[in-house]
Amino acid sequence: MATVLGNSPNRPRLSPSVRALRHQTPYENYSPSKIVVSHAHPEPESGSYARQSNWSGPHGYGCRHRLDDAPFSLWDEALHDFRYPSHWETDWIRTRYSPTKLGFQWPIIVVETATLPTELPLTLACVAVKFVPPPWEEAIGITGQILPIVEDVRPLSVPTDYAGMRGLPDPLPFSFRKWTQPTDAQLEVLAVELVRICNPFRVHILCPNLIIELCTDDQKVYQPGSLPRRIGGFAVHYHHGTDPFGELSVRSQQRLIAPTASIQDKSDYLRARQELCPGVCVSSGTVTNVGQYATLSMSTTAGIVLRNNRGDQRLTVSNHGFLHSDNVYHPIPQGTHIGEIDERCQALDIALVKLNPSVKFTNANYFESKEPRRLLYRSQVPLGVFFALDGMSSGMLWFQSQGATMILPPRPPNMTEIPFHKMLLYQQFGNGGVTMREGICGAAIVEDDTDDGGVAGFFWEASPNYAFSPCLDELIDRGWMVV
């Protein structure tokens, strides 16, 4: 059995290029919790450090980031809703950030400005905030290319007229509560009603909207105004095309950091520190399970070590990064063989790796992210909670939980049961970009606004604005827990 350590000190990444991604431009420099370097190890590149709290206030919407110095809150706890600022509060924001535009796009605020402090808060007046440059400023990526400028971050409606003014009445016997995670029972009722009136394959409950992606390979034709305008009290947007929802939203002004495949932390942590931890690079083998040479070897991010009720310990990795090989290496395929996959959870995109006895692994050091301590049911993840991950190609990223997604697999004709997979939907903050996503698949998404170390999921998929992770309910029900 592999050795799993539980008391290793937090240590920063060995890769300076990945560690520096947050600091490339002021528009990306969201600050992590304040780092306190041990006196015994004064150099952060090699020493240990402790993290101070990033947050105050409620667990969810209304929380305040430590760099948020607004003397007011735009979250009304009594009404459980956001509010617009007064004239005095608007003047304070203008004085503080010199915005050329302000967008109150609940549940976030978008500040367009050319003048920023060195470090950016993740909230402004207790509301999640994104800073973007004015459109006349050329956005320069890390590789020197000029990036496109787009102005908005909201998931706007898609160009279908299926939900006309005289569409079907709201089919649900209840209304979703605003800014509140839908319950499992509500999702089940929603699935049943949707398959009765249309053929969806993905449904996003993104308060105060429902975004329904309709199947395109069923030759089904929808007439204008033939589908409900509101479902569960939320406005409905239908998409009937090949582009996924994440590509439909009017994107925020492109992140000024566009990590490339060359920006990856492929440091050998076994050689340098004699142990592995969440967030390091793991790679599939060059030989397939049937003994042939693989045409592609993928590098992704290591998850965490779990234990089941029988005492078995397994490391989680991204299943789709190891489709052709059960062998897992660190950091590259020509590196050290650290274990072999002996179980796969296809719907969760999780593969479970039995580590070699000689491999030491600690969950206690997750670089700049907090230590993972427990797995969370979806119902234990309120909307508005900030999470963090630390991927081998991204460094630290922040996600705010903002909704739920249902994936409805194809069903045989006359099937009465409506199976679906539950996912959490997050808004992304930090050094986003398209090309870095492959490398962070499998990274654990850990609560940042508490010290409880709750793990909501493992990174699976992202668009320019949103990220998704399969819910861990099934894994928890099977008896798996964090070591």
425 pLDDT above the threshold of 80: yes
Task: Provide the token pair at 318.
Answer: 């991204």
Length of the chain as a residue count:
483
Lowest mean pLDDT among 155-159, 193-197, 222-226, 272-276: 155-159
Lowest mean pLDDT among 31-40, 77-86, 110-119, 195-204: 31-40
149 pLDDT above the threshold of 60: no
pLDDT digits (tens, 9 = 90+) for 221-248: 999 889 999 999 999 989 888 776 655 4
Give the confidence band of 137 by pLDDT, cuts at 50, 70, 90.
very low
> What phi, psi does 305 have (nearest 5°)?
-90, 130
How much is the average pLDDT of 19-26?
66
Q: Which residue has the tokens 């699935």?
A: 191
Q: Which residue has the higher pLDDT, 45 or 226?
A: 226
* Domains of the chain from N-terminus onward: 1-24+32-66+257-483 (2.40.10.120), 73-151 (no CATH)
**Measured between alpha carbons, how far is 305 from 317 in angstroms, rounded to an integer?**
10
**Measured between alpha carbons, how far is 127 from 92 in angstroms, rounded to an integer?**
15
pLDDT digits (tens, 9 = 90+) for 271-300: 999 999 999 999 998 877 767 777 778 899
**Measured between alpha carbons, how far is 448 from 427 in angstroms, rounded to an integer?**
14
How much is the average pLDDT of 318-334?
93
pLDDT digits (tens, 9 = 90+) for 57-115: 999 999 999 999 999 999 999 999 999 999 999 999 999 999 988 989 899 998 888 88
Dihedral sign computed on CA atoms, order 57, 60, 62, 68 = positive
3-state helix, strand and coil shares in percent for the chain, rounded to the nearest 5: 10, 30, 55
Task: Provide the token pair at 376.
Answer: 């969370």
139 pLDDT above the threshold of 90: no
**Percent of residues, the chain, with pLDDT higher than 90:** 59
136 pLDDT above the threshold of 50: no
Question: Which amino acid makes up residue 4?
Answer: V
